[in-house]
Amino acid sequence: MTPIDCLIIGSGPAGYTAAIYASRANLSPVLYEGQQPGGQLTITTEVENFPGYPDGITGPKLMEDLRKQAMRFGADIRTGYVSDVDFSTRPFKLTIDNSTEIFANSVIIATGASAKYLGIDSEEKYRGLGVSACATCDGFFYRERTVAVVGGGDTACEEALYLSSIAKKVYLIVRKDHLRASKVMQQRVAENEKISILFNTNTESLFGEEFVEGAHLVEFKGTPEERRFDLPIDGFFLAIGHKPNTDVFAKYIELDDAGYIKQKGITTETNIPGVFAAGDVADPYYRQAISAAGMGCRAAIDVERFLSAARSNAKSI
């Protein structure tokens, strides 16, 4: 079987942008869309901060546009997910849907990261209807409204502080009796008059006719002091972390302590020459569609240079 020159794994902003650039570089990329074609933006309602859409656009439509653009330049977009990889030799061997084996001279990993949720049924019911895992993405829609953030670490404090500049009131729901965030973040939250911290509090469910209107909370759960109450809110933000989708690559690719792919210097290259990473799978800091798209561009350029250098040196890849 003739190896694919450029195989892209994942179909969010990073994957589709990589496909656009790789196609225009005549690399004939093949992209496997994965188990959630279009990535996390397919479950996002309005996107107002992606350049080029002055009136905003829905997440699914944005992904549809990026997909069409990649196909326009000849990207081969396929249904399926990568279930196994062998990066020990080149060409690399990958297994699709636990059955089909393919080979590739270079690989761009753009599998993203999945937000962690509490696991309550109403999270799914109101996802995109008041439930969000990205304050910088969706905070704008809650201007002068009341919101809650769940979490006690630096991310949760950062989200609460960001939302306090937009919302009328922010509640920080913390299941423990303390914050895990750094001292400076704790101080900033404590000094912010718009933020109220609810310690020792768990969220049992959300309620509302069409959109989130409030949360059913329980304080000191399982103790004699247990108290249940309802908190009227318009938005519910999860800030309990993300899990990068890297399990299938862990045997070969160097990851950080949280499971994100490590990159070499300013490039998108991993510890395996010929394997590159783009988007949220390698970015625990920004997690924005536009930054993921930018990394997809960089990864495609890195692939083109890698393949060109290998061929000019007359090396077998």
Residue (of 19, 16, 31, 41) closest to 113 by Cα position: 41
What is the C-alpha to C-alpha distance for residues 99 and 93, in angstroms, rounded to an integer?
12
What is the C-alpha to C-alpha distance for residues 13 and 113, in angstroms, rounded to an integer?
12
Distances (CA, A) of 209 to 128, 130, 206: 14, 12, 10
Residue entry with tokens 């636990």:
98
Rounded to the nearest 5 degrees, what angle is found at the Cα of 35, between the Cα atoms of 250 and 104? 55
Active-site positions read: 134, 137-138
